[in-house]
């Protein structure tokens, strides 16, 4: 080899290294500039603030977009919190479109500093506001494996949300759902593969924020590997640091690199990251200031999950939790049980030197800069007249329908029972594991019966007595085919998304008697673990009127099914499995 040959090989390496360094430098500069805003307005505003006003800007409480008379005690209490205690923002929990927009304007008029209005829009603005567009949960987008649909969902969410006066969504969920028994994440997650979770949620984040709404990646550092609900207690994740880096933290790092402006903390204890026994991530300086800020390079807003949740209140006092969260590096304190007491306690902590004023003002600047990036210092009101022109447009509804339809996943179809044939002795069972939800499958029953007259329908929920169940079992035992529609909603504090044991036993008894059964899940895809012997299994990931209509169309061969499991069903089917079933009939 010639003496200079080694140099010829080394030069490209050096060039690549220089280019990589330049790219890294650009990324750092982007991180530094991405979270800028109107600093002159921010500093001018801060100079005029009292200590109480500064702290009030870091506290956020709830409201509902329903009709209230102006002399309502509920409304008067909120007005006092905004006007007297200078809250930084409000969180919308449900409501009607016109009322929501009207009262966001009303509260903005009362606030000296513009309010940051947020809401949990995990499934679009329709997740909270009647009349806005409702999308499926993220696991449906994982089943469709569509970044395009995620992008469109982010776009529509931002357009409709901003029209209502909402500036920030607590979405997307970037948790990696690797625990089939997770009672609170489940279908809210894209799935179990970190790279897919990152791809889908990154598309949502970029679109949502490019259309004027702050996106929030949650729940840091990852809530997907729990079998407990932090609304009720403090879950523990015992994975080692390397596993956390490869799985839980991977989508958060991707979200940070995509420019996500907000990250929500989780009320979880992770021994690998926090040595203090029982200290939740929300209150951990090592996790929030050390890991998130310093190691992962996040420059945006850090917001707590609700401080009223038992994952915090069951172990720490309300005021202590708020104080420790701020010290840990949190910027916004969401839903403390008593916001007035929290503001008073934090004010005292600053005056006594327990909490540095610099720590308060550091977060205050982030909050105010975010408000200027949203343009709230120039225009804080929305037009009620424009709502009928924006919410629920046909274009938006078509996109949501496409997202629901693209997610349908056929896991099993033994003996080619699907599509359903006419002239079958068919029994449809609607089995809801939610007490009081007796007619959960009413839309499905109407749609199937209109296509297959003579279908016998039976309903049962968590409160249905044995006599009714015996009647349904007797009829199902004489059927040529049984379709079992399975409903179990995902609710905070419920503790499980699983099925009623009596309903599981019902299906297993039918199969033991040799009855062909097609199970249809309108919730968790993991239901199949209880009765792998069923002949057919179709997943739709959520119970909505859209999914019930789509299920009927799919069962009767009117639409093509082409989704794939975004999670594995342990011992049964791997992630990515899905049968394609072409349509054989025209849609009704």
Per-domain residue ranges of the chain: 47-394, 408-555
The pLDDT of residue 7 is above 70: no
d(CA 574, CA 570): 7
d(CA 234, CA 171): 22
Q: How many angstroms separate the Cα of 189 from the Cα of each of 159, 216, 235, 282? A: 23, 14, 18, 20
Residues 459-481 pLDDT 10s? 999 889 899 999 999 999 999 99
Active site residue 231: yes
The token pair that represents 437 in the structure block:
């939800």
d(CA 252, CA 194): 10
Report DSSP letters for 220-235, one per residue: ET--TT-SS-TTTS--
356-382: average pLDDT: 98
Determine the CATH number of domain 47-394: 3.20.20.300
Residues 156-198 pLDDT 10s? 999 999 999 999 999 999 999 999 999 999 999 999 999 999 9
- The pTM (predicted TM-score) of the whole model is 0.92
Residues β-bridged to residue 426: 481
d(CA 512, CA 381): 62
d(CA 200, CA 97): 28
d(CA 150, CA 155): 9
358 and 140 in contact (C-beta within 8 Å)? Answer: no
Catalytic residue among 120, 225, 229, 305: 305
131 and 96 in contact (C-beta within 8 Å)? Answer: yes
State which CATH number among 3.30.565.10, 1.10.645.10, 3.40.50.1700, 3.30.750.24 fits the domain covering 408-555. 3.40.50.1700
Between residues 450 and 230, the one the model is more confident about: 450
99-126: average pLDDT: 98
Active site residue 530: no
How many CB atoms are located within 10 Å of the residue 347 CB?
Answer: 18
Catalytic residue among 102, 167, 219, 231: 231
Side-chain-side CA neighbours of residue 162 (13 Å): 18
Residues 17-61 pLDDT 10s? 443 344 445 445 555 557 788 999 999 999 999 999 999 999 999
Exposure b/e, 294-309, CB count within 10 A at least 16 = b: eebebbbbbbbbbbbb
């Amino acid at each position: 080899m010639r003496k200079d040959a080694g140099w010829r090989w080394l030069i490209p390496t050096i060039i690549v290294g220089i280019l990589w360094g330049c790219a890294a430098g650009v990324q750092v500069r982007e991180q530094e500039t991405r979270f800028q805003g109107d600093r002159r307005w921010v500093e001018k505003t801060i100079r005029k603030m009292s200590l109480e006003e500064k702290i009030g800007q870091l506290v956020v409480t709830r409201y509902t977009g329903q009709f209230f008379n102006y002399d309502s005690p509920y409304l008067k209490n909120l007005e006092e919190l905004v006007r007297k205690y200078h809250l930084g923002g409000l969180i919308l929990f449900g409501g009607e479109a016109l009322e929501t927009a009207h009262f966001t304007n009303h509260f903005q008029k009362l606030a000296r500093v513009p309010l940051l209005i947020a809401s949990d829009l995990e499934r679009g603005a329709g997740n909270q506001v009647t009349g806005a567009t409702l999308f499926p949960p993220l696991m449906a987008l994982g089943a469709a494996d569509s970044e395009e649909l995620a992008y469109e969902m982010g776009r529509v969410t931002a357009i409709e949300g901003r029209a209502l006066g909402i500036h920030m969504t607590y979405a997307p969920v970037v948790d990696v759902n690797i625990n089939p028994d997770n009672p609170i994440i489940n279908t809210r997650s894209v799935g179990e593969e970190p790279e897919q979770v990152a791809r889908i949620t990154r598309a949502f984040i970029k679109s949502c924020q490019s259309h004027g709404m702050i996106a929030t990646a949650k729940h840091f550092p990852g809530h997907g590997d729990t079998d407990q609900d932090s609304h009720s207690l403090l879950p523990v994740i015992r994975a080692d640091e390397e596993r956390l880096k490869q799985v839980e933290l991977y989508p958060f790092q991707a979200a940070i690199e995509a420019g996500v402006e907000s990250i929500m903390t989780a009320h979880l204890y992770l021994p690998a990251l926090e040595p203090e026994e029982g200290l939740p991530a929300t209150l951990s300086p090592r996790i929030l200031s050390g890991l998130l800020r310093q190691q992962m390079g996040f420059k945006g807003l850090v917001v707590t999950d609700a401080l009223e949740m038992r994952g915090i209140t069951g172990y720490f006092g309300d005021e202590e939790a708020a104080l420790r969260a701020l010290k840990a590096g949190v910027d916004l304190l969401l839903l403390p049980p008593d916001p007035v007491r929290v503001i008073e306690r934090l004010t005292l902590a600053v005056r006594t030197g327990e909490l540095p004023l610099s720590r308060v003002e550091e977060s205050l600047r982030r909050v105010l800069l975010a408000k200027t990036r949203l343009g709230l210092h120039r225009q804080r009101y929305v037009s009620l007249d424009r709502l009928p022109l924006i919410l629920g447009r046909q274009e938006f509804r078509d996109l949501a329908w496409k997202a629901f339809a693209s997610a349908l996943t056929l896991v099993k179809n033994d003996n080619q029972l699907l599509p359903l044939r006419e002239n079958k002795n068919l029994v449809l069972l609607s089995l809801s594991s939610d007490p009081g939800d007796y007619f959960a499958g009413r839309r499905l029953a109407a749609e199937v019966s209109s296509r297959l007259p003579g279908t016998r329908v039976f309903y049962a929920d968590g409160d249905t007595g044995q006599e009714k169940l015996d009647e349904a079992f007797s009829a199902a035992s004489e059927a040529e085919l049984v379709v079992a529609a399975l409903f179990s909603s995902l609710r905070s504090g419920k503790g499980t998304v699983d099925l009623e044991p009596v309903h599981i036993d019902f299906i297993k008894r039918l199969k033991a008697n040799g009855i062909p059964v097609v199970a249809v899940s309108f919730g968790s895809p993991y239901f199949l673990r209880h009765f792998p012997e069923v002949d057919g299994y179709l997943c739709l990931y959520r119970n909505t009127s859209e999914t019930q209509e789509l299920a009927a169309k799919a069962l009767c061969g009117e639409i093509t099914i082409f989704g794939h499991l975004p999670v594995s069903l342990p011992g049964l089917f791997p992630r990515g499995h899905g049968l394609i079933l072409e349509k054989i009939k025209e849609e009704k």
